[in-house]
Amino acid sequence: MNALGRHILAEYYSCDISALDNITFLENCMRDAVVASGATIIDTKFHQFSPYGVSGVIVIAESHMAIHTWPEYGYAAIDFFTCGDRVDPWKAFDHMSLTLKPLNHSTKEIKRGLLAPETDKLLEAPPLTL
C-alpha cells in the first residue's frame, strides 16, 4: 500500500550507558544516521537532562528523526520518520544500531498518510464517535 511517509519506532535495550548520556556523541550519531538514510538536515536541537538523559530532534527536509535516552536503564527510544520514496529510514536505524550497540531492540514501522492504490488519493479514517 502506498503512503506519504514511513515512521519507524525503535527501542534499543542494554546500550552503553555512557553513550546514552553523551549529548555530543548522540548528536553526531544521529547526524550520521540522517546522512546514511539519504535525508537532508534542516535543523537540530538536543538537550542534556540533569541528572542524566538526552533528548534530541533533527528536522529533515523529509520530516524528522528524534531520540530520547534513559541511561539509568540503558535504553533509547528513536523515531525515524521520513516522507517520500527517496530516503530509507532503515539505513538510519542500522546506523544507530551499530553505534549504540544494543544487546536487543524492537521496531515497528507505521505507514503514515495511506494512499488508495487505485487512485493515489489520501485515505481518511472514519470519524470517531464519542
Query: What's the alpha-carbon Rg for the chain, to the nearest Å?
Result: 16
Nearest to 82 by CA among 66, 68, 94: 66
Catalytic: 68?
yes
State residue 119's pLDDT score.
Answer: 86
Q: Is residue 32 part of a domain?
A: yes
Active site residue 63: yes
pLDDT per 10-residue tile (average), the chain, 130 residues: 90 96 98 98 98 98 98 98 95 97 97 88 76
CATH of the domain at 87: 3.60.90.10
Report pLDDT for 128. 66
- Cα dist. 3→16, 64, 75, 82 in Å? 35, 16, 30, 11
Q: Whole-prediction pTM value?
A: 0.89
Does residue 88 lie within any of the structural domains? yes
**C-alpha cell of 74?**
540503558
Tell me, yes or no, whether 99 lies in a domain: yes
Question: Is 121 within a domain?
Answer: no
Catalytic residue among 68, 95, 97, 106: 68
* Tally of domains in the chain: 1
Q: What is the extent of the structural domain holding 33?
A: 2-110
In the set 7, 15, 37, 63, the catalytic residue is 63
* Candidate list 83, 95, 97, 106, residue with the active-site label: 83
**Could you tell me if residue 129 is inside a domain?**
no
Residue 127 lies in a domain: no
Tell me the C-alpha to C-alpha distance, in Å, between residue 126 and each of 8, 75, 129. Answer: 24, 36, 9
Residue 130 lies inside a defined structural domain of this protein = no
